[in-house]
Amino acid sequence: MAKKQLAKTQRSQKKPLATFEVKLVGPDVLPERIPLRVVSDALSAVQDIASGRDSFEEQHVSPEKSINLLDVGRGSATYRCVARAPEDAITNLTKFGSLLSSLNQKQNNGDGLVAALRPIETLSEIARSVGGRVQVTITGDTRTPAFSVEQNDYRRISENLFVTGETTIVGTVERAGGATEMRCLLRVPGRRRILYCDVKDQALARRLGQHLYEEIAATGTATWIHRTWRIHAFTINDFTQPRLGDVSEAIEDLRGAGLAAWDEVDNPEQYLRELR
């Protein structure tokens, strides 16, 4: 009886079939030579693509659309993954490949690129670090990868997609500082996700740190995504704190600017009808 139960348990724990594989291709690339951070960044970027997550709208991949690492293979560095929603993952990976192909043919797909921008940026940087490319292949289709990201892809795409200029953003300081890079986290009204900002220098970061959980008006250089006008990046060069005046004083100022003349009109509504 115990042997039958053991056999049943072993069958239920049979290794699942991989949904796709991620391969880092470059000279002398082997799994043991790739830093763990690079592997994590690559798999996270591919998970975003497979799940269809828009990083501008959703902070995390939902658990039901996540991917798991199945095993690691040699011959470059190959990471076989299994998706919890395999059909959706294959569809999204294939769409991503079509998007990259259309860009190579100089077609305009600005709107479709919005959700794909950050994964392309990450994978391009990883391709640069290994001196080659990152390719993803659907299981069962070993001849043609679903897509391949080269080290210059992000730069090539972003040249025609971004608009840069000076602007002011009002938000609440959630965090400021950093061990290696000066950053500030701003909570901006009307924006779902917190805005991660670069900071000009350490002195400015210290000033920002003195205003945690306070509202500021940050001035600096913004990079917007063309046509959607979503902020892709923002560097704070300086900031001030908005001054809130007295409401009664503001009303008096408006009256002084000419609104007091309405006090002399007996029936404003009838007066406006006559003007029409």
What pLDDT, on the 0 to 100 scale, is given for residue 147? 94
Sign of the torsion formed by the C-alpha atoms of 251, 254, 260 and 266: negative
In the predicted model, residues of the chain with pLDDT beneath 50 are 275-276
Domains of the chain: 16-158 (3.30.70), 162-240 (2.40.50.140)
**Residue 57: what pLDDT?**
64
Rounded to whole angstroms, the Cα distance separating 230 from 241 reads 24
Would you give the DSSP letter of residue 177? E
pLDDT tens digits for 94-134? 999 988 887 665 555 555 566 788 899 999 999 999 999 99
Helix 117-130 × helix 36-51 angle, to 10°: 150
- For tokens 């975003």, the residue is 48
The reported pTM is 0.66
Asked if 231 contacts 222 with a C-beta cutoff of 8 angstroms, the reply is yes
> CA distances (Å), 224 to each of 155, 167, 206, 231, 238, in order?
15, 11, 27, 4, 19
